[in-house]
Amino acid sequence: MAAPGSCALWSYCGRGWSRAMRGCQLLGLRSSWPGDLLSARLLSQEKRAAETHFGFETVSEEEKGGKVYQVFESVAKKYDVMNDMMSLGIHRVWKDLLLWKMHPLPGTQLLDVAGGTGDIAFRFLNYVQSQHQRKQKRQLRAQQNLSWEEIAKEYQNEEDSLGGSRVVVCDINKEMLKVGKQKALAQGYRAGLAWVLGDAEELPFDDDKFDIYTIAFGIRNVTHIDQEAHRVLKPGGRFLCLEFSQVNNPLISRLYDLYSFQVIPVLGEVIAGDWKSYQYLVESIRRFPSQEEFKDMIEDAGFHKVTYESLTSGIVAIHSGFKL
């Protein structure tokens, strides 16, 4: 489908969801969000700005951006701790699997959108670095009868330890980027990393710039990003999305719901002092489309060879598509 059409479809889907939600009688709760004056809107007949969902509330698209910003501003410092506590550390495995699926070759230019605290970026750098080291070792082993001087020169060349790979971490939230930068300093990542404050719906990059575009646990917080993703990828570039999805096993689904709605907000309150942000989190997961639907949406946006892989019985899924 042509890009403008796909963009329209995406926004229609946004509106379609909210209409469907209304039809299914979701409550519009009056929530006194800290510092936020707006509550969920009541039903009315007149034409309104495009609507979307914010957890179980229905909000306009402009509102959603602001509200999501506030959520992540307040959770930024405890983000990583909470991830570990909520997923019992499994989120690390999920992210590792994303990298494994990515199999980046040396020289890959990666754009990690909504990459906030840098988990994907650091894993990418580790992967690329170890790949490069292995390559170096192989080369040296292949060259027989080298003198000590030649070996020393090889190591002294100080060539790019990443093999030309670069990663750009883009996030709309300053607090999350700040935490990410601090982590990078603490863990010693310097080369090959760039931090950009930017909006996923309007990326501050030129066309055809990146080999891989990833968005891990960020896509349900934004509204239309397909066009931008398509634009900044080089032809042949890959779109990878790691996100919570629908559980396919009914028993696990019930346990998962129980855990999500009973335990996670409590964890949020006790550890981070923030009930509402984590209530938003579990609600936004429920509102996200299923694996198949999301695959269709990616295809509609112009990507080819779209596949997905469910992890942990469908709690998360990795979707992949190519710009051809």
Q: Write the CB contacts of 124 (distance below 8 Å, at least 6 apart in sequence).
A: 99, 102, 104, 110, 112, 165, 167
Of the candidate spans 15-23, 106-114, 175-183, 220-228, the one that interacts with another protein by CB under 8 A turns out to be: 15-23
Torsion sign over Cα 260, 264, 266, 269: negative
Of the candidate spans 174-182, 222-230, 233-241, 250-258, the one that interacts with another protein by CB under 8 A turns out to be: 250-258
Q: Which amino acid is at 184?
A: A
Please pick, from the candidates 271, 299, 311, 312, the single residue that binds another protein as defined by CB under 8 A.
Answer: 271
Output Rg (C-alpha) for the chain, integer angstroms. Answer: 22
Q: Which amino acid is at 180?
A: G
Instruction: Check binding of 254 to another protein (CB under 8 A).
Output: yes
CB nearer to another protein: pick between 214 and 291 = 291
CB nearer to another protein: pick between 201 and 269 = 269
CB nearer to another protein: pick between 217 and 256 = 256
3-state percent helix, strand, coil for the chain, nearest multiple of 5: 50, 20, 30
CB 237 within 8 A of CB 323: yes
Minimal distance, residue 6 CB to another protein, in Å: 11
Number of residues that bind another protein (CB under 8 A): 42
Q: Token match 């991830």: residue?
A: 83
CB 160 within 8 A of CB 131: no
Closest residue by Cα to residue 79 from 127, 116, 132, 52: 116
The binding track of 203-242 with respect to another protein, each residue x by CB under 8 A or -, is ----------------------------------------
CB 123 within 8 A of CB 180: no
CB nearer to another protein: pick between 24 and 43 = 24
Of the candidate spans 23-31, 150-158, 169-177, 226-234, the one that interacts with another protein by CB under 8 A turns out to be: 23-31
Q: Report the site for another protein in 275-304 (rule: CB under 8 A).
A: 275-276, 279, 282-283, 286-287, 289-290, 293
Of the candidate spans 66-74, 183-191, 200-208, 271-279, the one that interacts with another protein by CB under 8 A turns out to be: 271-279
Torsion of the alpha carbons at 10, 11, 15 and 17, rounded to the nearest 10: 20
Instruction: Check binding of 100 to another protein (CB under 8 A).
Output: no
Please pick, from the candidates 261, 311, 312, 313, the single residue that binds another protein as defined by CB under 8 A.
Answer: 261
CB nearer to another protein: pick between 24 and 142 = 24
Residue 307's CB is within 10 A of a number of other CB atoms, namely 12
Instruction: Check binding of 17 to another protein (CB under 8 A).
Output: yes
CB nearer to another protein: pick between 19 and 92 = 19
Residue 123's CB is within 10 A of a number of other CB atoms, namely 20
Instruction: Check binding of 267 to another protein (CB under 8 A).
Output: yes
Please pick, from the candidates 2, 30, 190, 207, the single residue that binds another protein as defined by CB under 8 A.
Answer: 30
Burial 124-152 (b: 16+ CB within 10 A, else e): bbebbbebbeeebeeeeeeeeeeeeeeee
Token couple for 45: 């007949």
Token couple for 152: 């020393």
Instruction: Check binding of 26 to another protein (CB under 8 A).
Output: yes
Q: Rounded to whole angstroms, how far apart are CA atoms 131 and 165?
A: 11
CB 96 within 8 A of CB 119: no
Of the candidate spans 71-79, 125-133, 140-148, 264-272, the one that interacts with another protein by CB under 8 A turns out to be: 264-272
Give the footprint of another protein on this chain (CB under 8 A): 8-9, 12-13, 16-17, 19-20, 23-24, 26-27, 29-32, 56, 246, 253-254, 257, 260-263, 265-267, 269-271, 273, 275-276, 279, 282-283, 286-287, 289-290, 293
